[in-house]
Amino acid sequence: MPVIFTIIFSLFLVGCSVTNIPNKSLNIPETTQLDSNITETIQLNLDKDSLPISPQIKMLENRTAYKEDKSIAPNISGNYELETGTDHHKMVSNAYMVIEKLDDLNYGYYYAVQDAKAIANGFFGIFRYRDGTFLNKVLDEGSVTTLNHNITLITEGQRLKLVVIGSFGKRTIIWSRVLEDDKRENKVLSEALADAKVSYTQIYKDKFDTFTEKEGY
């Protein structure tokens, strides 16, 4: 009997010892899982923020997307008609321009502009490409040419923006490239355009191969 009692008492003590052992799983801080989630969230945000941001390009109507390389002149040869424009604070009612390629950097041009009073004037010259912009090439002395920074042509795919700053105001014209067959019949404009072509051919086109550019310009 004492032996049985001793065994039962021993088992009782062992049971008590087991129940008093601290439960390590209960001592795990409650913030461990939360900290893990925060770490994962921060890591995700860092990964997202480290990604390159794609440039947001606002495309213009009829604009051709291409990688810009300012060392290479875009081919702007073609025929253009008026999209919109002002000349000395007055609206341009009609205009037409022809551009032809002379070499990789130079493009000859002639155009006519008609105002609301149906008066048309012709203009001509050479656009010289430099650092992403076309500037107007003019004769400086003899066959030496220089660049006129008061006349610039900016390319936008199939569209051109011509800005002419003079002593009496500014002329700004947006041109759209068209097929030659799309030219609208306008006698006054056509005559001014024809006169501008003759002057351009005699002064610039026929003598282009003899031109030399002034250093520093």
Q: 119 and 27, same structural domain? A: no
Q: How far apart are CA 87 and CA 21, in angstroms?
A: 95
Q: What is the pLDDT of residue 142?
A: 87
Q: What is the pLDDT of residue 68?
A: 56
Q: Which of 51, 75, 189 is nearest to 127 (CA)?
A: 75
Q: How far apart are CA 129 and CA 77, in angstroms?
A: 13
Q: What is the pLDDT of residue 70?
A: 72
Q: What is the pLDDT of residue 199?
A: 97
Q: 33 and 86, same structural domain? A: no
Q: 32 and 91, same structural domain? A: no
Mean pLDDT of the chain: 76
Tokens for 60?
A: 């213009």
Q: How far apart are CA 135 and CA 85, in angstroms?
A: 19
Comparison of pLDDT for 200 and 131, the residue scoring more: 200
pLDDT (average), residues 94-108: 96
Q: 185 and 130, same structural domain? A: yes
Q: 179 and 95, same structural domain? A: yes
Domain that holds residue 44: 2-49
Q: 8 and 115, same structural domain? A: no
Amino acid at 60: L
State yes or no: pLDDT of 103 exceeds 80.
yes
The rounded Cα 46 to chain-centroid distance in angstroms is 30
Q: 82 and 44, same structural domain? A: no
Q: What is the pLDDT of residue 95?
A: 95
Give the model confidence (pLDDT) of 60-98 as tens digits. 344 444 455 677 899 999 999 999 999 988 899 999 999
Q: Return the C-alpha torsion angle 9, 10, 13, 15, nearest 10.
A: -100
Q: 150 and 105, same structural domain? A: yes
In a domain, 54, yes or no: no
Q: 182 and 111, same structural domain? A: yes
Pairing status of strand 159-166 against strand 133-141: unpaired
Q: 189 falls in which pLDDT band (50, 70, 90)?
A: very high
Q: 83 and 45, same structural domain? A: no
Q: 118 falls in which pLDDT band (50, 70, 90)?
A: confident
Q: What is the pLDDT of residue 214?
A: 86
Q: What is the CATH number of the domain that holds 159?
A: 2.40.128.120
In a domain, 192, yes or no: yes
By CB atoms closer than 10 A (0-12, 13-18, 19+), residue 120 is buried
Q: 90 and 44, same structural domain? A: no
Q: What is the pLDDT of residue 182?
A: 58
In a domain, 162, yes or no: yes
Comparison of pLDDT for 137 and 25, the residue scoring more: 137
Q: 204 and 107, same structural domain? A: yes
Domain count, the chain: 2
